[in-house]
Amino acid sequence: MQNSTFVIDTNHRPLPPIHPGLARRLLSTGKAAVFRRYPFTVILKIEVIEPINADIEVKIDPGSKTTGIVLVKRNKVIWAGEIQHRGATIKASLESRRAMRHNRRARKTRYRPARFLNRTKPKGYLLAATAAPDRLAALGPTAAPDGPGRWLAPSLLHRVFTIDTWVKRLVKYVPVGSIAMELVRFDMQKMQNPEITGVEYQQGELAGYDVREYLLEKFGRKCAYCGAENTPLQIEHVQPKANGGSNRVSNLTLACHACNQKKGTRSIEDFLAKKPEVLQRIKSQLKTSLKDAAAVNATRWRLFETLKTYGLPLTTGSGAQTKFNRSQQGYGKAHWIDAACVGEVGVAVEVNQLLQPLLIRATGHGTRQMCRTDKYGFPRLHKSSRAKSFFGFKTGDMVKAIVTAGKNQGTHAGRVAVRASGYFDIKTKHGKVGGVAHRYVKRVFQLDGYDYGM
């Protein structure tokens, strides 16, 4: 099962995606040409003037390492992708740069003035750097719990930028009508201020899932009574229902099966009579109220703010809801399936679990370093120029070379490593082919900062 193929017309107008089989027929009969390899897009050789229903929804489940992103048309997933972020790589390279600078200052060399407290962090909202001014204007006053202008580390901001890039691509090639994303871990609104108002919680009901996630966060994912971790936890009434205890979240905690059984219908004072310190802790934990901020992280908020600038209807869901929707429909765990299950409509979404999502790995755009250092920070190699592109090719471009003469005779396809000499290396499935003259090389896909797979 393959992803649908994107189609645009001669005016680059996005048309509804089509079955890959139909795309193959259009290509073989010469009615269309390949426009882009990733995501696979074909361009029709005619103009389409009929009105087109923008009824496709982009759904996103942002994760710290991997983000699931799908296109849903009439409750059916037609395209799926998983974006692998490179936050850890960014963090590591910034740390290594800092360590090298520190080392240089500390070394016995000429005087280098200390360079701390001379950096500025951007003030105000730094949205996706790519956001157009009209998209920025569409952004109203913000109620983000992280506050406007809150600085976000480059490794986190990169996540926002990457997802924004992909939403922008999808909007370009597909008639998108709305966007949905998972924003919070549990929905405070749905629980209607759980610390004050009672909730009709029922195990397995939607509200129950949000309550559970909320309690897990509040009690640190362990049994409140014995501290057991990594064990199934049950929602537990502190004052038992039989004794008039309420269903309010302020009367709920989490306990392992053993503790739950042991406590039974006893009151908490009775049950913990011999453990006054535990009783004290639980009582104070029950009184504390989690802020919204505990459910939402700054990165997701920034993404939410960024996606608002598309001017499309933007809906949000909670992580608890996603989990509920997925398990309700019996789907397996995958980032793209989670994305499909986001939001209220995610409870009835048709997912073909055999669908192969496009695996998108963020690789970055290389380095601007003019001087490569060894692992101790000493200069090792100096680059002679900033040029990245030679004879119209960049290292990392996907190419195909049909070599007609010489030792490399044959067809080679893969990623190219360019050389100023004009003799390139091509990394193919079968190994590296060295010294291929650039005149034989044709570009198939231009490097765009991502690595693709199925």
- The nearer residue to Zn ion, 259 or 341, going by C-beta atoms, is 259
Distance between CA 60 and CA 316 in Å, rounded? 10
Q: How far is the CB of 227 from Zn ion (least distance, A)?
A: 7
- The nearer residue to Zn ion, 18 or 226, going by C-beta atoms, is 226
Q: How far is the CB of 161 from Zn ion (least distance, A)?
A: 43
Q: How far is the CB of 229 from Zn ion (least distance, A)?
A: 10
Binding mask 136-175 for Zn ion (x = CB under 5 A): ----------------------------------------
Q: In angstroms, how far is CA 288 from the centroid of its own chain?
A: 31
Q: How far is the CB of 304 from Zn ion (least distance, A)?
A: 37
Q: How many CB atoms lie within 10 A of CB 269?
A: 12
Q: Crossing angle for the helix pair 206-218 and 319-328, nearest 10 degrees?
A: 130
- The nearer residue to Zn ion, 79 or 271, going by C-beta atoms, is 271
Give the list of residues 6+ apart from residue 396 with CB closer than 8 angstroms, or none. 363, 366, 415, 416, 447
Distance between CA 334 and CA 402 in Å, rounded? 39
Q: How far is the CB of 272 from Zn ion (least distance, A)?
A: 12
Kindly identify the residues of this chain, within the stretch 230-269, that bind Zn ion according to CB under 5 A: 256, 259
E-assigned strand segments in 195-321: 233-237, 252-256, 314-318
| 278 lines the binding site for Zn ion (CB under 5 A) | no
- Residue 28, class by beta-carbon neighbours within 10 Å (0-12 exposed, 13-18 middle, 19+ buried)? exposed
- The nearer residue to Zn ion, 98 or 262, going by C-beta atoms, is 262
Count of positions on this chain that bind Zn ion (CB under 5 A): 6
In order of 18, 199, 200, 270, 341, the CA distances from 247 in angstroms are 50, 6, 7, 20, 28
| 226 lines the binding site for Zn ion (CB under 5 A) | yes
- The nearer residue to Zn ion, 133 or 232, going by C-beta atoms, is 232
| 228 lines the binding site for Zn ion (CB under 5 A) | yes
Give the list of residues 6+ apart from residue 284 with CB closer than 8 angstroms, or none. none
Q: How far is the CB of 261 from Zn ion (least distance, A)?
A: 10
Q: How far is the CB of 231 from Zn ion (least distance, A)?
A: 8
Binding mask 173-212 for Zn ion (x = CB under 5 A): ----------------------------------------
Which residue carries 């610390």 as its tokens?
195
- Residue 74, class by beta-carbon neighbours within 10 Å (0-12 exposed, 13-18 middle, 19+ buried)? exposed
Q: How far is the CB of 263 from Zn ion (least distance, A)?
A: 9
Q: Give 224's Cβ-side CA count (13 Å radius).
A: 28
Judged by CB under 5 A, which stretch of 63-71, 217-225, 290-298, 367-375 contacts Zn ion? 217-225
In order of 305, 398, 408, the CA distances from 148 in angstroms are 10, 41, 58
| Contact with Zn ion (CB under 5 A) among 225, 301, 304, 324 | 225
- The nearer residue to Zn ion, 221 or 383, going by C-beta atoms, is 221
Residues that bind Zn ion (CB under 5 A): 223, 225-226, 228, 256, 259
